[in-house]
Structure 1
Amino acid sequence: MSSPSKRREMDLMKLLMSDYKVEMINDGMQEFYVHFHGPSESPYHGGVWKIRVGLPDAYPYKSPSIGFINKMYHPNVDEMSGSVCLDVINQTWSPMFDLVNVFEVFLPQLLLYPNPSDPLNGEAAALMLRDRPAYEQRVKDVTILHQPLVHSSYPTCTLSYRVVCPWI
């Protein structure tokens, strides 16, 4: 079995080689941003969220910390801090999971199947339970209003874990 630092490096490289846009924070491999697109079958479709990921020293034996940077209206996301209430990350994390699982499975499932009975955002949970169409419209409104600026006129670049494009 490989050491936690080797596993962290392998998982991060796998994420960098995927279709996700990744921005490193500082020079280390423990903090970075991932640009995450809302699932097409959800009211979050069309949205792009900047997710802050922190990898503890004991990763993969300890779960990553995940938080939304731009505003997210969801029963299981704290509106002020962006913290996520997701059992698979907070309580049932396993070293069998990797970073790509977080963005390809766990977060899409969170957005597709909110759990209003265990809310971090009580207002969103109450609206979802009381009036699902109004909740979905509010999600769409917040999603559109709080999108990051897109710099489409800038060239794209390939990221490595040591290089960050200055225009991102």
Structure 2
Amino acid sequence: MASPSPGKKRMDTDVMKLIESKHEVNLIGDSLNCFQVKFCGPSDSAYKGGVWRIRVELPEKYPFKSPSIGFLNKIFHPNIDLGSGSVCLDVINQTWTPLYDLSNIFDTFLPQLLMYPNPHDPLNGDAAGLYLHQPEEYKKRVRDYVSRYAMEVSGGGDGNGAGDDDDDESSISECSFDGDDDMEMEM
């Protein structure tokens, strides 16, 4: 029996490290290359109290190739696409190095992105414009999105906010986050 490649060992190690951390991780299927992470907004930001589900896909060449990440519930941010949840973050998209691991993404890179957006390289032009020209309105809109789409509902809610009728949004409402290994992601 052949031993796993160094890349596969690293993938397994990084995913296990993330599972053992403070982050709630749910695997999708039987492999470690696709999973969801529960991510909480930084406490010293307008995103405080928000809880997002983030899809993570690790490429076959991880850690030499960066992971793909995306928000599954809506977030209002200049560098996150409102429709797809795609994240514009140089450290993931362009300057990724095998020296980074998954914990760096959730403990450092994403919190920093939420606290210090780059409005000059936006995926959401409306958010970038408000951030630059009407910062108080930007914070108000962020808080509105947090309360509508990123609040955990006690008793096992889906994290998409109560009373939401928006059919075109990314959703994890079909997924149980209580150990369902066969979760489907709507993209």
TM-score for both structures, normalised by structure 1: 0.89
**Distance in 2 (alpha carbons) for counterparts of 1:8 and 1:143:** 32
**Aligned counterpart in structure 2 of residue 23 of structure 1, from 23, 26, 32:** 26
**Aligned counterpart in structure 1 of residue 97 of structure 2, from 73, 94, 111:** 94
**Distance in 1 (alpha carbons) for counterparts of 2:128 and 2:37:** 26
Give the secondary structure class of the aligned counterpart of 1:40: coil
Q: Please name the residue that 1:159 is paired with.
A: none
| Preserved CA contact (<8 Å) 2:52 2:72 | yes
AA paired with 1:165?
G
AA paired with 1:62?
K
Q: Please name the residue that 1:64 is paired with.
A: 67
Aligned length: 157
Give the secondary structure class of the aligned counterpart of 1:53: strand
| Preserved CA contact (<8 Å) 1:70 1:148 | no
Residues 1:85 and 2:88 are matched in the alignment: yes
What is the CA-CA distance between 1:85 and the residue it aligns to? Answer: 0.1
AA paired with 1:66?
I
Residues 1:74 and 2:87 are matched in the alignment: no
TM-score for both structures, normalised by structure 2: 0.80
State the 4+ residue runs in structure 1 displaced beyond 3 angstroms: 148-153
* Cα displacement string for residues 135-166 of structure 1 (whole angstroms, at most 9, x for unaligned residues): 0010000011002653547xxxxxxxxxx624
Question: What percent of counterpart residues are identical?
Answer: 54
**Distance in 2 (alpha carbons) for counterparts of 1:147 and 1:85:** 20
**Distance in 2 (alpha carbons) for counterparts of 1:107 and 1:147:** 15
**Distance in 2 (alpha carbons) for counterparts of 1:13 and 1:151:** 27
**Aligned counterpart in structure 1 of residue 11 of structure 2, from 8, 13, 28:** 8
Structure 1, unmatched stretches of 5+, are: 154-163
What is the CA-CA distance between 1:99 and the residue it aligns to? Answer: 0.3
Equivalent residue runs for 1:1-168 within 5 Å: 3-147=6-150, 149-152=152-155, 165-166=179-180
Give the secondary structure class of the aligned counterpart of 2:64: coil
Q: Please name the residue that 2:160 is paired with.
A: none
* Cα displacement string for residues 61-96 of structure 1 (whole angstroms, at most 9, x for unaligned residues): 000001000001000000000000000000000000
| Preserved CA contact (<8 Å) 1:53 1:67 | yes
What is the CA-CA distance between 1:43 and the residue it aligns to? Answer: 0.2
